[in-house]
Amino acid sequence: MTEAVIFDLDGVIVDSEQVWDEVREQYTVEAGGRYSQTATRAMMGMSSTEWSTYMAEELALPGSPEEINAAIVQRMLARYGEAPLLIDGAADVVRSIAEAVPVAIASSSNPELIDVVLRVAGLADVVRDAVSSQEVPRGKPSPDVYLEAARQLGLDPSRLVAVEDSSNGLRAAHAAGFGVIAIPNGEYPPAPDALALADVTLGSLAELDRDAVLRARG
Protein backbone atom coordinates (compact mmCIF):
# COMPACT_ATOMS: atom_id res chain seq x y z
CA MET A 1 0.00 0.00 0.00
CA THR A 2 1.23 3.49 -0.88
CA GLU A 3 1.83 5.56 2.25
CA ALA A 4 2.72 8.93 0.64
CA VAL A 5 3.17 10.64 -2.73
CA ILE A 6 6.15 12.90 -3.37
CA PHE A 7 5.86 15.42 -6.18
CA ASP A 8 8.61 17.05 -8.17
CA LEU A 9 7.95 20.80 -8.52
CA ASP A 10 9.38 22.17 -11.77
CA GLY A 11 7.50 20.79 -14.75
CA VAL A 12 4.98 18.95 -12.54
CA ILE A 13 3.33 21.66 -10.41
CA VAL A 14 4.79 24.83 -11.89
CA ASP A 15 5.52 25.36 -15.60
CA SER A 16 9.03 26.63 -14.99
CA GLU A 17 11.56 24.53 -16.90
CA GLN A 18 11.58 27.01 -19.78
CA VAL A 19 11.81 29.93 -17.35
CA TRP A 20 14.91 28.42 -15.73
CA ASP A 21 16.41 27.94 -19.20
CA GLU A 22 15.68 31.51 -20.29
CA VAL A 23 17.02 33.04 -17.07
CA ARG A 24 20.23 31.03 -17.13
CA GLU A 25 20.82 31.67 -20.84
CA GLN A 26 20.22 35.41 -20.54
CA TYR A 27 22.51 35.66 -17.53
CA THR A 28 25.21 33.65 -19.31
CA VAL A 29 25.06 35.81 -22.44
CA GLU A 30 25.13 39.04 -20.43
CA ALA A 31 28.12 37.78 -18.43
CA GLY A 32 30.02 36.80 -21.57
CA GLY A 33 29.75 33.04 -21.13
CA ARG A 34 28.82 30.26 -23.56
CA TYR A 35 25.34 28.74 -23.47
CA SER A 36 23.99 25.81 -25.48
CA GLN A 37 21.20 23.24 -25.58
CA THR A 38 23.68 20.85 -24.03
CA ALA A 39 23.81 23.10 -20.98
CA THR A 40 20.03 23.02 -20.65
CA ARG A 41 19.95 19.23 -20.54
CA ALA A 42 23.00 18.97 -18.31
CA MET A 43 21.60 21.20 -15.58
CA MET A 44 18.11 19.70 -15.36
CA GLY A 45 17.83 18.12 -11.93
CA MET A 46 21.12 19.49 -10.59
CA SER A 47 21.15 21.02 -7.13
CA SER A 48 21.82 24.76 -6.90
CA THR A 49 25.40 24.05 -5.83
CA GLU A 50 25.90 21.76 -8.81
CA TRP A 51 24.38 23.97 -11.50
CA SER A 52 26.05 27.15 -10.26
CA THR A 53 29.40 25.33 -10.26
CA TYR A 54 28.64 24.01 -13.76
CA MET A 55 27.89 27.54 -14.96
CA ALA A 56 31.13 28.86 -13.48
CA GLU A 57 33.32 26.08 -14.83
CA GLU A 58 31.64 24.85 -18.02
CA LEU A 59 29.98 28.04 -19.25
CA ALA A 60 32.96 30.23 -18.37
CA LEU A 61 31.06 32.67 -16.16
CA PRO A 62 32.88 35.14 -13.93
CA GLY A 63 32.24 35.09 -10.20
CA SER A 64 31.96 32.31 -7.67
CA PRO A 65 29.26 29.62 -7.79
CA GLU A 66 27.68 31.28 -4.74
CA GLU A 67 27.45 34.62 -6.56
CA ILE A 68 26.03 32.96 -9.68
CA ASN A 69 23.45 31.06 -7.63
CA ALA A 70 22.32 34.22 -5.84
CA ALA A 71 21.98 36.13 -9.11
CA ILE A 72 19.97 33.41 -10.83
CA VAL A 73 17.63 32.91 -7.87
CA GLN A 74 17.05 36.67 -7.68
CA ARG A 75 16.09 36.69 -11.35
CA MET A 76 13.85 33.66 -10.91
CA LEU A 77 12.03 35.32 -8.02
CA ALA A 78 11.58 38.42 -10.17
CA ARG A 79 10.14 36.32 -13.00
CA TYR A 80 7.82 34.48 -10.63
CA GLY A 81 6.61 37.65 -8.94
CA GLU A 82 3.35 36.86 -7.22
CA ALA A 83 2.12 34.57 -9.99
CA PRO A 84 4.39 31.68 -11.02
CA LEU A 85 2.75 29.85 -13.92
CA LEU A 86 1.16 26.79 -12.35
CA ILE A 87 0.39 23.67 -14.38
CA ASP A 88 -3.35 23.63 -15.11
CA GLY A 89 -5.20 21.88 -12.30
CA ALA A 90 -2.01 21.09 -10.37
CA ALA A 91 -3.21 22.44 -7.04
CA ASP A 92 -6.49 20.54 -7.26
CA VAL A 93 -4.70 17.28 -8.11
CA VAL A 94 -2.27 17.61 -5.21
CA ARG A 95 -5.12 18.37 -2.82
CA SER A 96 -7.08 15.39 -4.10
CA ILE A 97 -4.15 13.03 -3.53
CA ALA A 98 -3.57 14.58 -0.09
CA GLU A 99 -7.06 13.55 0.94
CA ALA A 100 -5.92 9.92 0.65
CA VAL A 101 -2.24 9.96 1.67
CA PRO A 102 0.36 12.50 2.85
CA VAL A 103 2.08 14.48 0.09
CA ALA A 104 5.54 16.06 -0.03
CA ILE A 105 7.84 17.87 -2.46
CA ALA A 106 11.30 16.74 -3.63
CA SER A 107 12.65 19.45 -5.91
CA SER A 108 15.85 20.76 -7.44
CA SER A 109 14.57 24.31 -6.91
CA ASN A 110 15.97 26.50 -4.16
CA PRO A 111 13.90 26.58 -0.96
CA GLU A 112 12.78 30.18 -1.48
CA LEU A 113 11.38 29.30 -4.92
CA ILE A 114 9.59 26.24 -3.55
CA ASP A 115 8.02 28.45 -0.88
CA VAL A 116 6.71 30.92 -3.46
CA VAL A 117 5.09 28.21 -5.57
CA LEU A 118 3.44 26.48 -2.61
CA ARG A 119 2.12 29.78 -1.27
CA VAL A 120 0.71 30.93 -4.61
CA ALA A 121 -0.77 27.48 -5.30
CA GLY A 122 -2.37 27.45 -1.86
CA LEU A 123 -0.62 24.20 -0.99
CA ALA A 124 1.50 25.26 1.97
CA ASP A 125 -1.01 23.73 4.36
CA VAL A 126 -1.28 20.50 2.36
CA VAL A 127 2.34 19.58 1.70
CA ARG A 128 3.75 17.69 4.68
CA ASP A 129 7.42 18.28 3.84
CA ALA A 130 9.26 20.14 1.07
CA VAL A 131 12.86 19.13 0.38
CA SER A 132 15.24 20.99 -1.90
CA SER A 133 18.26 19.28 -3.40
CA GLN A 134 20.17 22.24 -1.96
CA GLU A 135 19.75 20.44 1.38
CA VAL A 136 21.40 17.16 0.32
CA PRO A 137 24.87 16.21 -0.97
CA ARG A 138 23.84 15.47 -4.57
CA GLY A 139 21.08 16.57 -6.92
CA LYS A 140 19.08 14.40 -9.30
CA PRO A 141 19.71 11.83 -10.85
CA SER A 142 21.18 10.81 -7.50
CA PRO A 143 18.42 9.64 -5.14
CA ASP A 144 19.44 11.91 -2.24
CA VAL A 145 16.53 14.36 -2.34
CA TYR A 146 13.96 11.55 -2.47
CA LEU A 147 15.64 9.62 0.31
CA GLU A 148 15.66 12.76 2.46
CA ALA A 149 11.95 13.28 1.78
CA ALA A 150 11.31 9.69 2.90
CA ARG A 151 13.41 10.28 6.01
CA GLN A 152 11.51 13.45 6.91
CA LEU A 153 8.20 11.67 6.41
CA GLY A 154 9.44 8.78 8.53
CA LEU A 155 8.43 6.28 5.84
CA ASP A 156 10.15 3.47 3.95
CA PRO A 157 10.93 4.37 0.30
CA SER A 158 9.38 1.07 -0.82
CA ARG A 159 5.99 2.41 0.31
CA LEU A 160 6.26 5.73 -1.55
CA VAL A 161 5.39 7.00 -5.02
CA ALA A 162 7.12 9.86 -6.88
CA VAL A 163 5.64 12.01 -9.65
CA GLU A 164 8.27 13.20 -12.13
CA ASP A 165 8.60 14.72 -15.61
CA SER A 166 12.31 14.69 -16.52
CA SER A 167 15.03 12.14 -17.20
CA ASN A 168 17.10 12.93 -14.11
CA GLY A 169 14.02 13.09 -11.91
CA LEU A 170 12.81 9.69 -13.06
CA ARG A 171 16.25 8.21 -12.50
CA ALA A 172 16.47 9.72 -9.02
CA ALA A 173 13.08 8.43 -7.89
CA HIS A 174 13.76 4.96 -9.29
CA ALA A 175 17.19 4.84 -7.63
CA ALA A 176 15.56 5.75 -4.31
CA GLY A 177 13.30 2.70 -4.56
CA PHE A 178 10.07 4.65 -5.06
CA GLY A 179 7.21 3.67 -7.32
CA VAL A 180 7.49 6.11 -10.23
CA ILE A 181 4.78 7.96 -12.14
CA ALA A 182 6.04 9.76 -15.25
CA ILE A 183 4.30 12.78 -16.74
CA PRO A 184 6.71 13.55 -19.60
CA ASN A 185 7.62 17.20 -20.06
CA GLY A 186 6.48 18.38 -23.48
CA GLU A 187 9.29 20.89 -23.94
CA TYR A 188 12.04 18.65 -22.58
CA PRO A 189 10.84 15.04 -22.94
CA PRO A 190 12.71 12.42 -20.92
CA ALA A 191 15.12 10.05 -22.62
CA PRO A 192 13.61 6.67 -23.55
CA ASP A 193 15.79 4.78 -21.07
CA ALA A 194 14.70 7.09 -18.24
CA LEU A 195 11.04 6.87 -19.19
CA ALA A 196 11.32 3.08 -19.17
CA LEU A 197 12.00 3.28 -15.42
CA ALA A 198 8.48 4.56 -14.74
CA ASP A 199 5.87 2.18 -13.38
CA VAL A 200 3.05 4.33 -14.79
CA THR A 201 3.17 6.93 -17.58
CA LEU A 202 0.43 9.55 -17.87
CA GLY A 203 -0.32 12.09 -20.57
CA SER A 204 -0.91 14.95 -18.15
CA LEU A 205 -1.20 15.75 -14.48
CA ALA A 206 -4.97 15.78 -14.88
CA GLU A 207 -4.81 11.98 -15.28
CA LEU A 208 -3.19 11.52 -11.89
CA ASP A 209 -5.63 9.93 -9.47
CA ARG A 210 -5.61 7.39 -6.66
CA ASP A 211 -5.84 4.49 -9.10
CA ALA A 212 -2.67 5.62 -10.88
CA VAL A 213 -0.92 5.89 -7.50
CA LEU A 214 -1.97 2.36 -6.61
CA ARG A 215 -0.74 1.02 -9.95
CA ALA A 216 2.63 2.71 -9.50
CA ARG A 217 3.30 0.90 -6.25
CA GLY A 218 1.57 -2.32 -7.45
pLDDT tens digit sequence for 17-51: 889 999 999 999 999 999 988 898 889 889 999 99
* 208 has a pLDDT exceeding 80: yes
Secondary structure percentages of the chain, helix, strand, coil, to 5: 50, 15, 40
* 202 has a pLDDT exceeding 70: yes
**What does the alpha-carbon distance between residue 154 and residue 170 come to, in Å, rounded to a whole number?**
22
**What does the alpha-carbon distance between residue 29 and residue 121 come to, in Å, rounded to a whole number?**
32
Please give the order of strands across the beta sheet that includes 4-7: 127-132, 103-107, 4-7, 160-164, 179-182, 200-201
Give pLDDT, residue 23: 96
Give pLDDT, residue 126: 96
- Least Cα distance to 23 among 71, 56, 66, 89 occurs for 71
* β-pair partners for 201: 182
Average pLDDT estimate for 197-203: 97
* 218 has a pLDDT exceeding 70: no
Going along the chain from its start, the domains and CATH numbers come out as: 4-15+84-217 (3.40.50.1000), 17-80 (1.10.150)
- Residue 211 burial (10 A CB sphere; 0-12, 13-18, 19+): exposed
pLDDT digits 0-9 by tens, 78-88? 999 878 999 99
Give pLDDT, residue 37: 81
Average pLDDT estimate for 162-172: 96
Percent of the chain residues topping a pLDDT of 90: 89
